[in-house]
Amino acid sequence: MKYKKDSERYLKMYPELLKWINECPLCHSKGYKTEMPDHVGGEHSIAAYNLKKYFKQLEVDENGFCLQCSKVYNQNR
């Protein structure tokens, strides 16, 4: 899983980008937030481009769970 390692390293290098990342507390899948604008960071930053390259979009519910876990969670309630 070289790809995943690269994405983790990228976030370590730019921890300020974590605010655009959702992480599901149940399955620990990570992805960029649906509300992330096309451009984040400084004027010449390609952060948004890189985040989209390294991560998939991850939609989360009001609990911060990804939609897949949200479904399971709500079914078991």
Which residues are near Zn ion by CB under 5 A?
Answer: 24, 26-27, 66, 69
CB of 69 to Zn ion, least distance (A): 3
Q: Which is nearer to Zn ion, 17 or 69 (CB)?
A: 69
How far is it, in rounded angstroms, from Cα 37 to Cα 20?
9
CB of 23 to Zn ion, least distance (A): 9
Q: Which is nearer to Zn ion, 11 or 24 (CB)?
A: 24
56 strand-pairing partners: 31
CA distances from 7 to 1, 12, 13, 47 (A): 10, 9, 10, 12
Residue with tokens 């390294």: 54
CB of 41 to Zn ion, least distance (A): 27
